[in-house]
Structure 1
Amino acid sequence: MTKQGFYFNMAACIGCRTCQIACKDKNDLAVGDTFRRLEDYEVGEFPSATVYHYSRTCNHCENPACVQVCPNSAMYISEEDGTVLHDDEKCIGCQYCVKACPYGVPTYIESLQLTHKCDGCLALRNAGESPACVASCPMRALEFGPFDELKSRHPDAVRDIAMLPSSSETEPCTLIGPRPVAVDSAGSEIWF
């Protein structure tokens, strides 16, 4: 199995939210439901304040908390590519995965009474295409592929930045090309 993952180039991201919109559109999500969420953080104070953006989705962790707590094995690790997937037929809507994920990724969809999450656009990938978020990014700030290859291509990338939980909790398969300010300070999330 070749473990798959994401790379996010924080320096290239302009905060346009195209990745978030493409994900919502591809997954036909209702208002309020998201599998990818762009977050904005402000660090410092006037006149030397700065902003950085973080595009958050499932990290397809090596040791996913959502899989560990699922009582029905609805959350599982794909034997084919190591991504963390969800089986609607097994999901009982208990939301244990929602509460367990330190990244706040699984989404409980009230109208279905089921939990859903990013699957790395499995159907698109099976058709030889990139995930919707990756394909839509105008700045090419997102990549998806074999995690070892991403690590080789981006040797300076990190798994830990100040506003995220420690990567030691779940070993996320998301690499970040960080802005230095994001490594040093969590900042305050800006709400629009």
Structure 2
Amino acid sequence: MKQLLYIEMDNCIGCRSCLAACTQCGGHDERNRNYVYDVNPLVNRQTIPLMCLHCVNPACARSCPAQAIQVTEEGAVLSALVEKCIGCQNCTIACPYGIPKFDEEQNLMYKCDLCYDRTKEGIPPMCASVCPTNTLQWITEEEFAAKQEKHRLGKWMSSRMPENPLEGETHVKINLPGILQGTEKLF
């Protein structure tokens, strides 16, 4: 049964548990690979989590002349391979979402790899396993279809839909804040 990361941005309370959990994922060398942004800090406390969307045809991998960025069969786009990365930073420039970061000390790109050591075994990524508000959810495709039907998602999904494509199809699905959909938050 295929599972995917679903982000319901309206639920984010800015606790940053996902960031702490990210540093604890195997192979991350205690380096955070996700972000939590304050949307408009002078007006309200709305925050949103942001991590790699694991594009089906990732611009970061397409732009890498050394083929250091691998895409797994499950769709996870991995960080640059140490033995191949030449430090050109093409990937950081090519990503339309600004996700890959470059570590100058190691001369290496790093980004969210969807906790591939866990997700390939069906275990949720660290960020989703600790999120107290279900902003980050590890769900099946059937559960995602039910959410789409219930909330009539489509227009405001970041992942490619015929009505509103962005970069292209992504493996991570996002429900953008309700304010964009003409609804108000209840909290």
- Normalised to the residue count of structure 2, the TM-score between the two structures is 0.77
- For residues 167 and 121 of structure 2, what CA distance do their matches in structure 1 show? 33
Residue of structure 2 in register with 1:28 after alignment: 29
Residue of structure 1 in register with 2:185 after alignment: none
Which of the two has greater strand per residue? Answer: 1
* 1:176 shift after superposition: 2.2
Residue of structure 2 in register with 1:85 after alignment: 78
Q: Which runs of 4+ in 1 moved over 6 A?
A: none
* 1:153 shift after superposition: 3.4
Cα deviations by residue, 1:42-94 (Å, 9 ceiling, x for unpaired): 29x8xxx5442211111001121101101011112212x01112322221111
Does structure 2 conserve the Cα–Cα contact (< 8 Å) formed by 1:7 and 1:150?
no
- For residues 62 and 126 of structure 1, what CA distance do their matches in structure 2 show? 17
* 1:124 shift after superposition: 2.0
Gaps of 5+ in 1: 185-192
**Aligned residues: percent identity?**
34
Cα deviations by residue, 1:137-167 (Å, 9 ceiling, x for unpaired): 1122212355x44531320344249xxxx85
Aligned residue type for 1:73: Q
Cα RMSD over matched residues? 2.8
Structure with the larger RCO, 1 or 2 (CA within 8 Å, 6+ apart): 1
Tell me the secondary structure at the aligned position of residue 61 of structure 1. Answer: coil
Residue of structure 2 in register with 1:57 after alignment: 51
Gaps of 5+ in 2: 183-187
The number of residue pairs the alignment matches comes to: 170
CA 1:153 to 1:142, structure 2 compared with 1: closer, same or farther past 3 Å? farther
- Normalised to the residue count of structure 1, the TM-score between the two structures is 0.75
Tell me the secondary structure at the aligned position of residue 154 of structure 1. Answer: helix
- For residues 180 and 35 of structure 2, what CA distance do their matches in structure 1 show? 17
Aligned residue type for 1:22: A
